[in-house]
Amino acid sequence: MQNWSQLFATRADRMVASEIRELLKVLDQPEMISFAGGIPDPALFPAEEFKAAYQELFEQDDHQAALQYSVSEGYKPLRKWISGRMALQGIACSEDNILITSGAQQALDYLGKLFLSAGDTALVGWPTYLGALQAFNAYEPAYQRLDAHGNRSVKDYQAKAKSSGGTVKFAYASTDFANPTGQTLTLHERKGILDLAEQLDIAVIEDAPYQCLRFEGKALPSLLELDIARSGDIEATRTIYCGSFSKTLSPGLRLGWVCAATPVIHQMVLIKQAADLNSSTINQMVMTKVAESCFDEHVEKICVVYKERRDHMIAALASHMPEGVTWSRPEGGMFIWVELPENMDAAAILKTSLEVANVAFVPGHAFFADRSGRNCMRLNFTSCGPDKIETGISRLGRLLADLISSGSVT
Ligand SMILES: Cc1ncc(COP(=O)(O)O)c(C=O)c1O
Give per-residue pLDDT as tens, 328-338: 999 999 999 99
The verdict on residue 42 lying in a domain is yes
Provide the residue range defining the domain that includes 335. Answer: 8-46+296-403
Selection from 174, 301, 320, 316 nearest residue 244 by Cα: 174
pLDDT in tens, 1-37: 899 999 999 999 888 777 677 767 777 788 999 999 8
Whether 167 and 208 share a structural domain:
yes
Task: Give the span between the Cα atoms of 299 and 241, in whole angstroms.
Answer: 20
Q: Are residues 347 and 316 in the same domain?
A: yes
Cβ count within 10 A of residue 197: 22
Given a cut of 60, whether residue 191 has pLDDT beyond it is: yes
Q: What share of the chain in percent tops pLDDT 90?
A: 91
Residue 26 belongs to a domain with what CATH number? Answer: 3.90.1150.10
CA of 105 to the centre of ligand 1 (A): 6
Confidence band for 177, pLDDT divided at 50, 70 and 90: very high
In a domain, 1, yes or no: no
Assess whether 211 and 308 both reside in one domain: no
Tell me: do 69 and 29 sit in the same domain: no
Q: Report the pLDDT averaged over residues 181-206.
A: 97
Work out the pLDDT band at 225, boundaries 50, 70, 90.
very high
Residues 199 and 308 in one domain: no
| Mean pLDDT of the 254-272 span | 98
CA 179 to centroid of chain Cα atoms? 6
Q: Are residues 158 and 289 in the same domain?
A: yes
Domains in the chain: how many in total? 2
Q: Taking residues 341-369, report their average pLDDT.
A: 94
**Residues near ligand 1 with C-beta < 6 Å?**
38, 103-105, 129, 131, 174, 179, 207, 209, 244, 246, 251, 256
| Domain stop point among 279, 294, 309 | 294
Strands 239-244 and 256-259: antiparallel
Q: How far is the CA of 339 from the centre of ligand 1 (A)?
A: 23
Domain C-terminal end among 264, 294, 324: 294
Whether residue 18 is contained in a domain is answered as yes
Are residues 232 and 362 located together in one domain of the fold?
no
Look at 371 and 235; give whichever has higher pLDDT: 235
Ligand 1 nearest-atom number relative to CA 244: 10
**What is the rounded average pLDDT of the residues 293-318?**
98
Which CATH number do you get for residue 170? Answer: 3.40.640.10
Mutating to test ligand 1, I would choose from 130, 206, 246 the residue with most ligand atoms within 8 A of its C-beta, which is 246
Segment 263-271 mean pLDDT? 98
Domain stops at, among 263, 294, 325: 294
Residues 308, 334, single domain; the answer is: yes
Residue 254 CA to ligand 1 centre (angstroms):
10
* Angstrom distance (rounded) from CA 372 to CA 368: 6
Same domain, 85 and 210: yes
> What distance in angstroms lies between residue 212's CA and the mean position of ligand 1's atoms?
13
The atom number, within ligand 1, closest to the CA of 107 reads 11
Q: Are residues 79 and 37 in the same domain?
A: no
